[in-house]
Structure 1
Amino acid sequence: MAISPALFDTTVEAITELQEGSGPADARLSAYFRNHRKLGSHDRAFIAETAYALLRRRRFLDYLAPEASPRRLVLACLVRVNGLSPRELEPFLRKTEVEWLREIKAKPADNLPLAVQAELPDWLWERLVAQYGEEEALAIARSLQQTAPLDLRVNRLKGQREAVLALFTKEGLTATPTPYSPDGVRLKEKIALNQHVLFNKGVVEVQDEGSQLLAALVAPRRGEMVADFCAGAGGKTLALGAIMANTGRLYAFDVSERRLSNLRPRLARSGLSNLHPQLIANERDQKLKRLAQKFDRVLVDAPCSGLGTLRRNPDLKWRQSEMDIAELTVKQGNILEAAAKLVKPGGRLVYATCSLLEAENEGVVAAFLAQHPEFEQANAAEILAQQKIELDTGDFLKLLPHKHGTDGFFAAVLTRR
């Protein structure tokens, strides 16, 4: 699209506010758009795409233009990431910027430091290299620079995947079944889903395929007592309820009233009547003590760094530090400890994160098992195979964007003896 001087200035203003503020980029961008309601949909799309391109490629842009102002960072991004020519931008360039931008355009991009190629802070790059080796760490990092597809979960209570695929195809959309999840649909195009009849009738929900597979690992059966211990807005809870065919009792626990309130409209669309949202003060809440060893299945999708979701949330890599990871692992251990008390003998406990880091994943599980001989680990691949899902990543479920096309996910299945 052609860029007007006014749109360029607005983009610079929005990105300046993003850099100076705190909190998730998507929330800050939404706030900016609320405060600038006269912006049209095309202008909003351009601003958002430029902001996310800058967040994804920030290390490369800093390499090209060290200590550049937000205005110059936007110019560098438009030329070197978005592929515009300096000539297209000349109508609103200052005199000092014309030659500067030509130099930016001509600057070589070969032989970059690996952490710059990976677009990661040094500490995170070093951790990934230690876990995966340089070659695979770079493949993971590059896959995280791509935009994520739009994955949907078909609600088994209200529709069938084949019918949903047929309807999207009839509408001219490129829709394919997800490779692993039996309920997943992947859309190539981004659409206004909240205006689509399938969404409003509760036939489909937005949910990454990896997240759908976590519900498959819990594998709740009809009539069971099941808990989603860190339910949030309830995406996995709703998937569990659909697998249970709306039978048994399903609890959605969370410490955030706001997150649970976001579950209510989704629950109303879903057609589920066996789901019971429960606000808790913390993992030591008295409500939980009364439910000790009552549950057949418990899912702990623990609060984590979210580094497996960088395709969708590229700002997370710049908002995390090694100290944050250390604090998170303590919190994760405490939450897993509390959730385990709910599991009955013979019951299943699934610990999951959307992190790529061993400290938040295998490390937390190993520490828990060392303290709890009454639990043992089950093989994740075998559990998926029982549901005719052909995906073998070993004892743990470990999903990576460059291998599986999903967000980065980790899960361990534990059974109380």
Structure 2
Amino acid sequence: MRPTLTQFDMATIAIRTILPLKSPADVLLRQFFRDHPAAGQNDRAVIAEIVFGILRHRFFLECLTEKTTPRALLLAYLVKFEGMNLRELTTFINESEAKWLAHIKAVTLASQPLAIQAEFPQWFMEKLQKFLSDAEILRLGQALQQPAPLDLRVNTLLAKRDEILTLLNQKSIDAHATPYSPIGIRLTGKPAINKDPLFLSGKIEVQDEGSQILGYLLAPRRSEMVVDFCAGAGGKALMLGALMHSQGRIYAFDISEKRLNNLKPRLKRSGLSNLHPHRINNENDARIKRLYGKIDRVLVDVPCSGLGTLRRNPDLKWRQTPQSIEELKHKQADILSSAANLVKPGGRLVYATCSLLPEENQEIIECFLSGNTLFTRLNCANLLAQQKIPLDTGEYLQLSPALHQTDGFFAAALERKK
């Protein structure tokens, strides 16, 4: 990538606008582009790539720059991660900057402390070191510094995966079957898939392969009643509806009207008739209580730190803190406890996060089970084997970008005793 002078100047302004990170980086970037309507599609792509590249490598870049100004971060990024040489930068830099860039060109990442190489803040490093070796931390950090691939889910109500793969490849879109999800497709590059007729007709949806695996852990049947407890924009609920062949009934609950509104056009495209979105006030809403003990399958993808999604959301490293993790843990325990009340005897609950931390994952489940004798833990590897999915991470599902090329997902499957 070689930015033009205009793109360089706009990227500098974008970095200055976004780096305080008072909101999620993608939200701030969308607002920046709204405030700069003259930026064309190519300009936006280049600027977005630069901004997220700097966020992925910010710790190392700040080590290289005495003054961590947006301009210095941008120049260091172009030299160290985009491979631009000083001759290519002559139109952008002055003499003192040229000397500094020549100096930092010789600085290697391997010479830095582990936290800088992995691009993790110290508080996060300390948490990881409790259960990972230094080599594992470095491998995880390097994986999380790479942009995530674009994964699709085939809507099996309307199409088959082989058919979609053929159609995509006929359009010269490099597409391959995902290794674990039987209905997933991974694309090379980032084509504008949201404008493709396959997307507009509801035959494909954008969904990380790890997220798709959660649907297979829940494994809803056609005639069942299912709840997606923290549905968000409904990606998992849509998948569950397709797995149920649009039969039975799915409730998609969320506290955010805005997120559920984002589900409406997706639901219309999907062809599903069994999915019912409802806004709730909290996990103890009257709508929830009316369903206590009546639901066959409950998916609880709780609000979490999101630290398993750093490939997509590198800004979370600075926006999360040890204090925010503590607050999330209490919320996660409360939501799990409330959602468990929905499950009928013999029913299944899947608890999931996109966090890497045991305190949001295993520890929440162990604490819940120690105080709730109505539930037993199921073996996730066995459940996936029943679905003919060759993925064994033990009793719990633990997906890692370093090992599985997905986001960092955790899931536990619980069954209410009959």
- TM-score w.r.t. the length of structure 2 is 0.98
| One-letter amino acid of the counterpart of residue 148, structure 2 | A
Query: What residue in structure 1 maps to residue 110 of structure 2?
Result: 110
Query: What residue in structure 1 maps to residue 285 of structure 2?
Result: 285
Equivalent runs, 1:117-156 vs 2, <5 Å: 117-156=117-156
Q: Is the 8 A contact 2:109 2:117 kept in 1?
A: no
| Deviation digits for residues 37-79 of structure 1 (CA, Å, limit 9, x no counterpart) | 1112221111111111100001111111144211111111111
Measured after TM superposition, the shift of residue 2 of structure 1 is: 4.4
Query: What is the count of residue pairs matched by the alignment?
Result: 417
Measured after TM superposition, the shift of residue 136 of structure 1 is: 1.1
Task: Give ranges in structure 1 of 5+ residues lacking alignment.
Answer: none
Classify 1:149/1:109 alpha carbon distance in 2 versus 1 (closer, same or farther; 3 Å): closer
How large is the RMSD of aligned CA atoms in angstroms? Answer: 1.1
Measured after TM superposition, the shift of residue 274 of structure 1 is: 0.6
Query: What residue in structure 1 maps to residue 411 of structure 2?
Result: 411
| Deviation digits for residues 145-196 of structure 1 (CA, Å, limit 9, x no counterpart) | 1111110000010000000000111111211100011100111121111110
Classify 1:92/1:255 alpha carbon distance in 2 versus 1 (closer, same or farther; 3 Å): same
Partners of 1:339 and 1:284 in 2: CA distance:
9
Query: What residue in structure 2 maps to residue 332 of structure 1?
Result: 332
Equivalent runs, 1:77-226 vs 2, <5 Å: 77-226=77-226
Query: What residue in structure 2 maps to residue 354 of structure 1?
Result: 354
| Deviation digits for residues 282-338 of structure 1 (CA, Å, limit 9, x no counterpart) | 011111111110100000000000011111111111111111111100000000000
List 4+ stretches of structure 1 deviating above 6 A. Answer: none
| One-letter amino acid of the counterpart of residue 33, structure 2 | F
Measured after TM superposition, the shift of residue 21 of structure 1 is: 4.5
Is the counterpart of residue 59 in structure 1 residue 41 in structure 2? no
Partners of 2:398 and 2:110 in 1: CA distance:
32
Query: What residue in structure 1 maps to residue 375 of structure 2?
Result: 375
- TM-score w.r.t. the length of structure 1 is 0.98
Partners of 1:399 and 1:200 in 2: CA distance:
30
Partners of 1:238 and 1:72 in 2: CA distance:
45
| Deviation digits for residues 207-265 of structure 1 (CA, Å, limit 9, x no counterpart) | 00000000110000011000000000000000000001100110000000000000000
Partners of 1:151 and 1:7 in 2: CA distance:
29
Measured after TM superposition, the shift of residue 5 of structure 1 is: 2.6
Query: What residue in structure 2 maps to residue 3 of structure 1?
Result: 3
SS at match of 1:20: coil
Q: Is the 8 A contact 2:233 2:261 kept in 1?
A: yes
| One-letter amino acid of the counterpart of residue 91, structure 1 | T
Partners of 1:224 and 1:283 in 2: CA distance:
22
Partners of 2:59 and 2:78 in 1: CA distance:
15
Partners of 1:180 and 1:195 in 2: CA distance:
27
Classify 1:166/1:319 alpha carbon distance in 2 versus 1 (closer, same or farther; 3 Å): same
Partners of 1:232 and 1:96 in 2: CA distance:
50
Query: What residue in structure 1 maps to residue 305 of structure 2?
Result: 305
Partners of 1:286 and 1:16 in 2: CA distance:
45
| One-letter amino acid of the counterpart of residue 198, structure 2 | L
| One-letter amino acid of the counterpart of residue 344, structure 2 | K
Q: Is the 8 A contact 2:147 2:311 kept in 1?
A: yes
Measured after TM superposition, the shift of residue 129 of structure 1 is: 2.0
Partners of 2:253 and 2:299 in 1: CA distance:
10
SS at match of 2:277: strand
Q: Is the 8 A contact 2:154 2:204 kept in 1?
A: yes
Partners of 1:20 and 1:68 in 2: CA distance:
12
Pick which of 93-102 and 170-179 moved more. 93-102
Partners of 1:32 and 1:53 in 2: CA distance:
17
Partners of 2:360 and 2:150 in 1: CA distance:
26
Partners of 2:53 and 2:188 in 1: CA distance:
19
SS at match of 2:87: helix
SS at match of 1:106: coil
SS at match of 2:246: coil
| Deviation digits for residues 98-134 of structure 1 (CA, Å, limit 9, x no counterpart) | 2222222233433210000000101112211211211
Classify 1:109/1:394 alpha carbon distance in 2 versus 1 (closer, same or farther; 3 Å): closer
Partners of 1:178 and 1:141 in 2: CA distance:
23
Partners of 1:110 and 1:132 in 2: CA distance:
19
Query: What residue in structure 2 maps to residue 29 of structure 1?
Result: 29
